[in-house]
């Protein structure tokens, strides 16, 4: 199992690990594409990492949000970029399920990218509007079974990590609800707080403050273990949803064909960034657990996630559009 750590595992050693191509890279500012709107956890991670990453590489890292179509718009832009390491994608769970959701993507989410590193992992929170007559997960499941498709479940898009977490809940618990998609996290949260959506699964750092204010009700976290940020919330698994585990993970990817020395230089920069106390503190504040893994570990992890989620989507009939 992939071990959480503050440092990336040692990079593969080779006599020519720092040839001229890696020594010269980067030669201009780096474009870091976030395939979601500002305000979500992927965007938060990008904003945490951009400045220290730029320091380690000696060039400015510019974050660019290209949201839409379940992250495929931003991913496509990176897949078609020059494979020189100057255009990167900060991706998450949504990237691993683009193929089954969008058969006409025009690119391969696995083959057309070169993973650089794993970045972090964060539990989701299962939350409902305060008018929902459920104080715990068993109560929520009973209410969902009684209401069925009449319940609106807010998510940032078909294939987003929060949507996948919802579909897994449907599958594991045998419940139903209507998925309502929004352009970004802020819009989805606005409707949850207003009661236009009754339920949402999303970032713990986003939803926990609203729970404390009484504007929503948090019922559980989605990971296999309780959150260090919210230790009082049970997991879905311990609340009766056997075998449930989902989270929001992040990785850094480059276009396929990016030279290996460039990937290694980027991975080394990420290792340095994640070792900085200031970055560790910001991760902790956001409830993010650093993930260990360079190019090979990231490639295996993303492939495993794709294999995990594809059958869930097929079984539930989830489709983009």
Tell me the fold of 27-121+247-316: D-Maltodextrin-Binding Protein; domain 2 (3.40.190)
For the chain, which residues make up each domain, given as ranges? 27-121+247-316, 123-221
Q: Given this model, what pLDDT does residue 205 score? A: 86
Sign for the pseudo-dihedral over CA of 59, 249, 180, 88: positive
Per-residue pLDDT of the chain (321 residues; tens, 9 = 90+): 444 443 444 444 444 444 566 678 999 999 999 998 888 889 999 999 999 999 999 999 999 999 988 889 999 999 999 999 999 999 998 898 888 888 888 899 999 999 999 999 999 999 999 999 999 999 999 999 999 889 999 998 787 888 889 999 998 999 999 999 998 888 999 999 999 999 999 989 889 999 999 999 999 999 988 998 899 999 999 999 998 999 889 999 999 999 999 999 999 999 999 999 999 999 998 889 898 899 999 999 999 999 988 888 887 776 665
Place of tokens 């769970």: 93
Query: According to DSSP H, which parts of the chain are helical?
Result: 20-24, 41-57, 72-79, 93-96, 98-101, 137-147, 161-173, 185-194, 204-212, 260-274, 277-285, 295-316
**CATH number attached to the domain at 123-221:** 3.40.190.10
CB 242 within 8 A of CB 172: yes
Write the burial class of residue 82 (CB in 10 Å: 0-12 exposed, 13-18 middle, 19+ buried): exposed
């Amino acid at each position: 199992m992939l071990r959480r750590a503050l440092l990336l595992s040692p990079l593969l050693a080779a006599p020519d690990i720092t040839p001229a191509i890696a020594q010269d890279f980067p030669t201009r500012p780096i474009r870091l594409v976030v395939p979601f709107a500002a305000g979500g956890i992927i965007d938060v991670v990008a904003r945490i990492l951009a400045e220290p990453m730029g320091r380690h590489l000696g060039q400015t890292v510019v974050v660019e949000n290209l949201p839409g179509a379940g992250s495929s718009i931003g991913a496509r832009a990176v897949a078609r970029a020059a494979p020189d390491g100057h255009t990167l994608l900060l991706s998450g769970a949504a990237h691993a399920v683009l193929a089954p959701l969008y058969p006409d993507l025009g690119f391969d989410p696995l083959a057309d990218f070169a993973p650089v590193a794993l970045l972090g992992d964060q539990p989701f929170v299962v939350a409902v509007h305060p008018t929902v007559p459920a104080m715990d997960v068993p109560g929520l499941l009973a209410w969902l079974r009684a209401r069925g498709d009449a319940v609106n479940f807010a998510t940032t898009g078909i294939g987003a990590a929060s949507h996948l977490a919802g579909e897994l809940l449907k599958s594991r618990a045998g419940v139903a609800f209507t998925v309502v998609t929004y352009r970004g996290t802020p819009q989805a949260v606005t409707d949850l707080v207003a009661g236009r959506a009754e339920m949402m699964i999303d970032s713990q750092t986003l939803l926990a403050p609203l729970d404390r204010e009484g504007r929503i009700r948090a019922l559980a976290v989605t990971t296999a273990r309780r959150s260090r940020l919210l230790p009082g919330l049970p997991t879905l698994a311990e609340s009766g949803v056997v075998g449930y585990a989902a989270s929001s993970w992040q990785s850094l990817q480059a276009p396929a064909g990016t030279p290996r020395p460039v990937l290694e230089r980027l991975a080394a920069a990420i290792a340095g960034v994640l070792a900085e106390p200031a970055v560790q503190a910001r991760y902790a504040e956001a409830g993010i657990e650093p993930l260990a893994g360079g190019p090979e570990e990231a490639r295996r992890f993303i492939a495993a996630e794709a294999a995990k989620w594809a059958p869930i989507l097929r079984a539930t009939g989830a489709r983009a559009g």
